[in-house]
Amino acid sequence: MDKFSIDSRNKIKRIPKRGHYDKATVYEILDQGFLGHASFVIDGQPFIIPTSYGRKGDTLYIHGSSASRMIRHLKEGFPMAFCVTHIDALVLARSIFHHSMNYRSAIIYGKARLVEGDEKWEALKIVSDSILQGRWDESREPNPIEMKATGVLALTIEQASAKIRTGPPGDDKPDYELPIWAGVLPIHTTYGNPIPDPLLKEGIPVSNTVKEASGNKV
Amino acid sequence: MDKFSIDSRNKIKRIPKRGHYDKATVYEILDQGFLGHASFVIDGQPFIIPTSYGRKGDTLYIHGSSASRMIRHLKEGFPMAFCVTHIDALVLARSIFHHSMNYRSAIIYGKARLVEGDEKWEALKIVSDSILQGRWDESREPNPIEMKATGVLALTIEQASAKIRTGPPGDDKPDYELPIWAGVLPIHTTYGNPIPDPLLKEGIPVSNTVKEASGNKV
């Protein structure tokens, strides 16, 4: 099994049995989402930015305005961390202390570089497909001015960890006698019904990607 | 209107019309969620941790294991950033370039201190109520050993910004003639049906908080 190296940076210390370091587990969590949070440091000040992403192999692609602080700073190769979190359920125990959540989270560490040329086009398509598979092919492609206005970072994943909790609550033994309801309250994230642009020309049907997504899990 | 001070740290530079600095807007976004991401720096390395939170006034409370890296580091008052992001919809334009999302995000900056005594108890209840209002009162309260094992941070909100996008896509004028479906694909996050703990004693009904949440928006 292909695993990330483990040291103090990525080691899961709290409840280590929930920790995973194999690439398959980390990449599955990344591939199940399209929104993450990037963490970086400028002059000792931590910053955090929510951003969409896509993955290819050991590379995470992030895009933004070429002029954004995130792109301008991170393209210099400063260390960054990136986190993707899926919350699956509230875990309701008998004791407040043992309340928890079922979740899948992945934290990755690495440095980014600015992407140019053919890789930039491919990276933008990877991010687009990660958000809504196939939408790129339905849309008007970027023109040179738009490509110039867009900055794309490739974050090489040096290290990562995943943390996963599943299943029912775990209470202290005596608490199982208490008359308190305990269990799991699932959280579902789904696409609703598409809302056409008020400026949509008459007679244009809902596209396939949107039709397929509607009503389904995000 | 009570506003945060604005400087280079929290100023929204990209699409500034989406930026908000008034406390009411920032706090509404915080209060509509219970999961955020904390960003902090140790020896120049950025870290990021997903964590639940609750708010009272200008203070954000975060809890975790007393032994966790996040609590042990941040209680020393190092600068931190914290982000809460709600994704409301995919915004599907005719051009790839103008694809976007409808979202509400808040980023806060400040320093934390360790919470003790009565405030610690109150803070834990605030975090619990932020996740599922009323559940604290249904549960077995923390005992002294559990309180000791739990670390609570109070992050005083020094500065913040919110960024909000709503509404349909905005395309370049000529693209409105293209035969491409455009509009908004809403994203809904809801609670499903509660799953009782397999070890739940017979005859214990689903509690009120869980009954009320089920089927509703998270």
**Is B206 part of any domain?**
yes
Could you tell me the CATH number of the domain that includes residue B22? 2.30.110.10
Q: A24 near A1, Cβ under 8 Å?
A: yes
Residue B73 burial class via C-beta count within 10 angstroms: exposed 0-12, middle 13-18, buried 19 and up: middle
User: Which residues of chain B have a CB within 8 Å of the CB of A187?
Assistant: 189-192, 218
**Is A37 part of any domain?**
yes
Q: How far apart are CA B67 and CA A181, in angstroms?
A: 30
**Is B32 part of any domain?**
yes
pLDDT at position A192 is 97
Pair (B206, B182) in one structural domain: no
Overall domain count for chain B: 2
Pair (B35, B142) in one structural domain: yes
Digit-coded pLDDT (tens) for B50-97: 999 999 999 999 999 988 889 999 999 999 999 999 999 999 999 999
The mean per-residue pLDDT over the stretch A197-215 comes to 96
pLDDT at position A191 is 97
Asked whether the beta carbons of residue A200 and residue B183 sit closer than 8 angstroms, the reply is yes
Pair (B146, B207) in one structural domain: no
Q: Which residue of B has its CA nearest to A171?
A: B199
Pair (B115, B193) in one structural domain: no
Which of B67-71, B119-123, B180-184 comes out lowest in average pLDDT? B67-71
**Is A78 part of any domain?**
yes
pLDDT at position B138 is 98
Pair (B44, B151) in one structural domain: yes
Pair (B70, B150) in one structural domain: yes
pLDDT at position B67 is 86
Q: Note whether ipTM > 0.90 here.
A: yes
User: Which residues of chain B have a CB within 8 Å of the CB of A99?
Assistant: 128, 131, 135, 139
Q: A173 near B179, Cβ under 8 Å?
A: no
The mean per-residue pLDDT over the stretch A58-77 comes to 93
Pair (B39, B122) in one structural domain: yes
Q: B78 near B41, Cβ under 8 Å?
A: yes
**Is A6 part of any domain?**
no
Test mutation, A35, A41, A107, A161, chain B, max B CBs within 10 A: A41
Which of A7-16, A43-52, A142-151, B82-91 comes out lowest in average pLDDT? A7-16
Encode chain B in three state secondary structure. CCECCCCCCCCCCCCHHHEECEHHHHHHHHHCCCEEEEEEEECCEEEEEEEEEEEECCEEEEEEECCCHHHHHHCCCCEEEEEEEEEEEEEECCEHHHCEEEEEEEEEEEEEEECCHHHHHHHHHHHHHHHCCCHHHHCECCCHHHHHHEEEEEEEEEEEEEEEECCCCCCCHHHHHCCCCCEEEEEEEEECCCEECCCCCCCCCCCHHHHHHCCCEC
**Is A96 part of any domain?**
yes
Pair (B131, B79) in one structural domain: yes
**Does the structure show a pLDDT above 80 at B216?**
yes
Digit-coded pLDDT (tens) for B95-117: 999 999 999 999 999 999 999 99
The mean per-residue pLDDT over the stretch A18-42 comes to 97
The torsion angles phi and psi of A210, rounded to 5 degrees, stand at -70, -40
Query: How does residue A114 score in pLDDT terms, banded at 50, 70 and 90?
Result: very high
The mean per-residue pLDDT over the stretch B140-167 comes to 97
**Does the structure show a pLDDT above 90 at B14?**
no
Pair (B118, B215) in one structural domain: no
pLDDT at position A136 is 98
Pair (B31, B48) in one structural domain: yes
Q: Structural domain of residue B213, as residue ranges?
A: 189-218
pLDDT at position B144 is 97
Query: How does residue B131 score in pLDDT terms, banded at 50, 70 and 90?
Result: very high
Query: How does residue A1 score in pLDDT terms, banded at 50, 70 and 90?
Result: confident
For residue A5, what is the DSSP state?
-
**Is A88 part of any domain?**
yes
Size of interface A-B (CB pairs under 8 A): 281
pLDDT at position A171 is 98
Nearest to A92 among B44, B47, B210 (CB): B210
Q: A112 near A79, Cβ under 8 Å?
A: no
Q: A81 near A9, Cβ under 8 Å?
A: no
**Does the structure show a pLDDT above 90 at A76?**
yes
Nearest to A81 among B48, B105, B200 (CB): B48
pLDDT at position A67 is 87
**Is B3 part of any domain?**
no
Pair (B131, B207) in one structural domain: no
pLDDT at position B13 is 87
B195 Cα to chain A: minimum distance (Å):
5
Pair (B168, B202) in one structural domain: no
